[in-house]
């Protein structure tokens, strides 16, 4: 069990780094958004078009990356949406069991389905080197790759969470340690 908990810590460290990348992208997307707005208003004031599809699509792509890369980080820190009508009143050991079951029977299978159904779509995009239909737009095949990368990252982090939940349910790990780990953020 200790070897699995070490694996879990390695995965958590990796997810933290991916989360930092997503975190760094936040001011970038804000900057690109400000640039787009400034170009639009300055362009109107001088009677010229200063913006381009490149910057508009860059803003969309960066926002998508934040979401797609940040999903595993949100899972690690227990920041995902949860309907906890009953869950909030459960003792820590029962919460660990519910989380373990949810991870093994819902999260991981759902991510596998995303990969299974998304892979042909992404492969086709790479095969034709899909680009934006808009003039000056960006390549689409690169961003579509993250439709596969994101669920892979979620599966990896899900494995880490399942290890911790199983250890907590078995009494090897104090369930409150999992909650403390979830609260430790960038």
Residue 89: per-residue pLDDT: 85
Q: What is the CA radius of gyration of the chain?
A: 21
In the predicted structure, residue 147 carries a pLDDT above the cut 70:
yes
End-to-end CA distance of the chain: 27
Tokens in use for 66? 């934040």
Q: In which band, very low, low, confident or very high, does the pLDDT at 82 lie, cut at 50, 70 and 90? A: confident
Least confident piece of the model among 62-66, 77-81, 93-97, 110-114: 77-81
Residue-wise pLDDT tens digits, 25-44: 999 999 999 999 998 888 88
**Residue with tokens 């599966």, as numbered in its chain:** 155
Is the CB of residue 164 less than 8 Å from the CB of residue 15? no
Is the CB of residue 131 less than 8 Å from the CB of residue 140? yes
Residue 75: per-residue pLDDT: 95
Tokens in use for 150? 């994101």
**Residue with tokens 């999260």, as numbered in its chain:** 107
Residue 185: per-residue pLDDT: 57
Residue 52: per-residue pLDDT: 84
**pTM score, two decimals?**
0.88
Q: What is the DSSP letter of 89?
A: G
Residue-wise pLDDT tens digits, 49-68: 787 889 999 999 999 999 99
């Amino acid at each position: 069990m200790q070897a699995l908990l070490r694996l879990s810590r390695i995965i958590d460290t990796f997810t933290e780094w991916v989360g930092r990348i997503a975190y760094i992208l936040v001011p970038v997307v804000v900057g690109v958004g400000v640039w787009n707005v400034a170009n639009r208003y300055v362009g109107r004031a001088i009677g010229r078009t200063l913006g381009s599809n490149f910057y508009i699509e860059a803003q969309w792509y960066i926002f998508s990356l934040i979401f797609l890369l940040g999903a595993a980080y949100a899972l690690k820190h227990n920041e995902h949406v949860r309907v906890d009508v009953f869950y909030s009143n459960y003792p820590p050991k029962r919460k660990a069991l519910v989380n373990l079951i949810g991870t093994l029977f819902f999260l991981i299978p759902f991510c596998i389905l995303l990969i299974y159904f998304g892979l042909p779509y992404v492969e086709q995009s790479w095969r034709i080197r899909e680009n934006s239909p808009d003039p000056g737009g960006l390549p689409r095949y690169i961003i579509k790759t993250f439709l596969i990368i994101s669920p892979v990252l979620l599966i990896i982090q899900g494995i880490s969470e399942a290890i911790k939940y199983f250890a907590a349910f078995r009494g090897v790990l104090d369930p409150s340690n999992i909650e403390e780990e979830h609260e430790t953020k960038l």
